[in-house]
Structure 1
Amino acid sequence: MAAVVASDLVTPLKRPFPNDGLGDENNNNNNGGATPDEKQAPRAVARRRDADPAAALAAARHEFGEHGGVNMSIEASATFTMAALEGTEAAYCTASGMSAISAVLMQLVGAGGHVVASRCLYGGTHALLSRFLPRVSGVTATFVDADDEAAVRAAVRPGVTRVVYVETVSNPTLAVADVPMLARVAHEAGAKLVVDNTFTPVVVSPARLGADVVVHSVSKFVSGGADIIAGAICGPASLVNAMMDLQDGALMLLGPTMNAKVAFELSERLPHLPLRMQEHSRRALAFATRMQGLGLRVAYPGLPDHPHHARLGAMGNPGYGFGGMLCVDMGTEDRANRLMHHLQNTTQFGLMAVSLGYYETLMSCSGSSTSSEMPPEDRARAGISPGLVRMSVGYNGTLEQRWAQFERALALMQPPQHHPKAAADRDADTAGNNHRKH
């Protein structure tokens, strides 16, 4: 079998636009290829236009395949880039989202270092910071309300804190991180801001807002097919190259490199990621608005009464909405499981699964699935209710068709009083089918 050879270094990518809001204010090319008329537009508007991830992806180098085909050839290489999506100098694609997160933290924090992290994170990341890294490398982590600047500042230890770590939109509570504020606090303390952007690719570009490193679970929205496990690290070329150092690099020595065939499959999905995110967002906003109208307890950043609605609107890339994730709090785990049972098995609204970003709507009760690694007291502090149903809103079928399915399932949660036997039969059928982590 032929050996797969990795290049020694990741070649730094040129930024897709000369001015992305992070460079020299005196850059003579600061119009990013704008027409003469567009050059008269306000600088902020021009910067937002130039930062459009769809345009960045289209501007990335594209060549015919080795034999003249319109698709690229599969290359037996272990180095791939995804930097155009996030507007960073370089990127490295990994075998999973957790491998991307783990490698970045090991590289940046080091033995005995300190991390300030949001108290609401994906359960695997929380366990990594609260249990695994402390055990194997003496890393300590302080979990705080990332929305409280004073709390973040108080938690930072100058000279000791290496990383401030957050998710752009928290899993599963959907709180929106103030990336510019957190970047400012981190940098003043000599630390790096690392942001997990898994929930909002294209919707938000954290690196353009001050984040030093952006990580992804590519398995989710970027893939879109619920059939690939992959991750990505996007950041400065200096960091990516250091992580590939033969003697001291976490990527080189831990070996979490993405398979070449997986990289090829993902390259075919990236061009329609912006379109998919637009429709995910459109459907999620429609469902959240209607659910709220029925009196349900809904969390969605696109709703005007969400505490971070204006923040995400200001940070987001224009035209991509507020993301495809919403939460419905049913109060108890039993009620959450009953609703999901009817949504999957009775009305075919969606599927019970712990992933997200699929064309079908996926649902999970976060407290007993994706956040189950967290101790109950930590889940409570993070605001994760036992009955919180996380929904990744899909886009197949028509909106009205899916809404009718949701309404029917919800009606089965409150059976008519004149059908006691039917209601009892339904509850009996449901009893053995409660959702659990899988």
Structure 2
Amino acid sequence: MAHILAAAEPLALLMKRPLPQTDGYGYGDDHISTDVVKPTKACHRESDPAAALAAAPHVFGEYGGVNMSIEASATFTVMEPDTMRRLFAGEMGPEGDDMYIYSRHFNPTVLALSRQIAVLEGTEAAYCTASGMSAISSVLMQLVGAGGHVVASRCLYGGTHALLSSFLPRTSGVSTTFVDADDEAAVRAAVRPGETKVVYVETMSNPTLAVADIPMLARVAHEAGAKLVVDNTFTPVVVSPARLGADVVVHSVSKFISGGADIIAGVICGSASLVNSLMDLQDGALMLLGPTMNAKVAAELSGRLPHLPLRMQEHSRRAAEFATRMRRLGLRVTYPGLPEHPHQDRLRRLGNPGYGAGGMLCLDMGTEARANRLMHHLQNTTQFGLMAVSLGYCETLMSCSGNSTSSEIAPEDRARAGISPGLIRVSVGYTGTLEQRWTQFERALALVQQETPGKHHKMMFVKPSALEI
């Protein structure tokens, strides 16, 4: 991160100050890199993400504003003709020279947000993108290459699964072996030394909430010369995969990091060399595919990062309480913080203390029809939450994963991954009081239990024939 500067210094200095070269732990040395992006002073000595973020130097606005300024320019001027040539040749850049070319390459505001998220995740560098899927696809295309091989968890977000099972094989000849990522022997058997480029998992699987053994997966990947890429969308602050051995951490920033359900964004966190390769003018996936984050979006997100740890604590607190009460009612609930969850001890061991087990839970109603009926009453009768995909919003969001966010996965593969037809994925919000929301849940559940089988109810976006039990 840039050093704190006097308020009177101009925006060009406040937002484009070169970073000192570091040893990965925030200690500077005299080495000067020619890379476009150098390792950020990521405060790795702080193990708590909130403490690391708070210890990072602040980026002030152009006139000393407490918030960063928005650099909305698409293109940037130079004072001498030869400077343009040097920029395109890679001899000059944003870090060492305070020089920018074009906002599809690097933008000062987006770079400032990227540094903040790198600090939060404990990585050398990061760069933000226009969506979570653009972050995932760009990383995979950059690291795997044509004809390469990936080993991936069989339980992934449906869009990621489709990318690996359909799109990349068709466009790039990339092949993927899907495995039970919790089975070390299966992962080892799937890895092809010299051919496998990436092992890909989610910290907490979407939607089954299995917790990845990141140290084990990192060990297996590295022994085979592969990179471990971890999607940490469900667990920002709760888990720090890079501190556990992951090489790359990706997020759909649209979710918990944003928190407002109003922004589509993503981020790639990793080494400075990775970010530089992604932004290479001749060979960089981010540079050439162009999933560019808007500077106004970056400034908006920067203002939300400081309260992300507080939001995650409340999401986790309420999700844990609801899951405990649902279990007492005899419901089939999955939550990594419950004693019966097979990975409760793992999450406690790998997670950052004080942030709980995350804000996601799953409720299995057995059949899609029964799940639909409960969600109908939860939204339209008792106002417990909203039927919508996505997660991390202040309101509770609910969706039946099998027919929504996991619908890209074939039915037999969904069954193998443990995604049942009646599985409701719940992103627990924090509006209202906990007791108020629990009363609303109980009322909706009672209505479902009282209804006779075969009775039709008018429900939003559900065909009547699907409601029969």
CA contact (8 A) 1:179 1:206 kept: yes
> In the TM superposition, what is the alpha-carbon distance from 1:17 to its structure 2 partner?
5.2
* Correspondence 1:6-85 to 2 at 5 A: 18=26, 50-76=46-72, 77=103, 78=107, 79-80=110-111, 81=114, 82-85=117-120
Q: Which residue of 2 aligns with 1:257?
A: 292
Query: Match for 1:203 among 238, 243, 252?
Result: 238
CA contact (8 A) 2:400 2:424 kept: yes
SS of equivalent residue, structure 1 residue 106: helix
Query: Match for 2:169 among 129, 134, 157?
Result: 134
Question: Letter of the aligned partner of 1:54 in structure 2?
Answer: A
> In the TM superposition, what is the alpha-carbon distance from 1:433 to its structure 2 partner?
4.8
Matched, 1:182 2:178: no
* Per-residue CA distance 1:315-373 (angstroms, 9 max, x = gap): 00010000000000000000000000000000000000011000000000000000000
Q: Which residue of 2 aligns with 1:354?
A: 389
Greater mean deviation of Cα atoms: 52-61 or 247-256: 52-61
In 2, distance between residues paired with 1:327 and 1:309? Answer: 15
C-alpha RMSD over aligned residues: 2.3
Note closer, same or farther for the CA distance 1:271–1:341 as it changes in structure 2 (3 Å cut): same
Percent identity among equivalent residues? 80
Gaps of at least 5 residues in structure 1 are: 1-6, 20-31, 34-46, 416-422
In 2, distance between residues paired with 1:250 and 1:191? Answer: 19
Query: Match for 2:458 among 414, 423, 430?
Result: 430
* Correspondence 1:67-216 to 2 at 5 A: 67-76=63-72, 77=103, 78=107, 79-80=110-111, 81=114, 82-216=117-251
> In the TM superposition, what is the alpha-carbon distance from 1:90 to its structure 2 partner?
0.3
* Correspondence 1:259-274 to 2 at 5 A: 259-274=294-309
> In the TM superposition, what is the alpha-carbon distance from 1:155 to its structure 2 partner?
0.1
In 2, distance between residues paired with 1:405 and 1:205? Answer: 34
In 2, distance between residues paired with 1:375 and 1:155? Answer: 21
* Per-residue CA distance 1:90-132 (angstroms, 9 max, x = gap): 0000000000000000000000000000000000000000000
CA contact (8 A) 1:352 1:362 kept: yes
> In the TM superposition, what is the alpha-carbon distance from 1:434 to its structure 2 partner?
2.4
Note closer, same or farther for the CA distance 1:18–1:321 as it changes in structure 2 (3 Å cut): same
Question: Letter of the aligned partner of 1:58 in structure 2?
Answer: A
Note closer, same or farther for the CA distance 1:196–1:13 as it changes in structure 2 (3 Å cut): farther
> In the TM superposition, what is the alpha-carbon distance from 1:171 to its structure 2 partner?
0.1
In 2, distance between residues paired with 1:325 and 1:67? Answer: 41
* Correspondence 1:392-403 to 2 at 5 A: 392-403=427-438
In 1, distance between residues paired with 2:420 and 2:294? Answer: 38
Q: Which residue of 1 aligns with 2:35?
A: none
Matched, 1:370 2:405: yes
Query: Match for 2:366 among 298, 323, 331?
Result: 331
CA contact (8 A) 1:282 1:321 kept: yes
> In the TM superposition, what is the alpha-carbon distance from 1:63 to its structure 2 partner?
3.1
Question: Letter of the aligned partner of 2:237 in structure 1?
Answer: V
Query: Match for 1:342 among 359, 367, 377?
Result: 377
* Per-residue CA distance 1:54-86 (angstroms, 9 max, x = gap): 011112221321112211111235342121110
* Per-residue CA distance 1:248-285 (angstroms, 9 max, x = gap): 11011000111100000000000000000000000000
TM-score scaled to structure 2, two decimals?
A: 0.81
CA contact (8 A) 2:376 2:460 kept: no
Note closer, same or farther for the CA distance 1:433–1:137 as it changes in structure 2 (3 Å cut): closer
In 1, distance between residues paired with 2:218 and 2:426? Answer: 29
Question: Letter of the aligned partner of 2:52 in structure 1?
Answer: A
CA contact (8 A) 1:13 1:89 kept: no
> In the TM superposition, what is the alpha-carbon distance from 1:214 to its structure 2 partner?
0.1
In 2, distance between residues paired with 1:16 and 1:85? Answer: 14
Question: Letter of the aligned partner of 2:129 in structure 1?
Answer: T
In 2, distance between residues paired with 1:305 and 1:316? Answer: 18
Note closer, same or farther for the CA distance 1:398–1:16 as it changes in structure 2 (3 Å cut): farther
CA contact (8 A) 2:24 2:124 kept: no
Query: Match for 1:310 among 345, 348, 361?
Result: 345
Q: Which residue of 2 aligns with 1:227?
A: 262
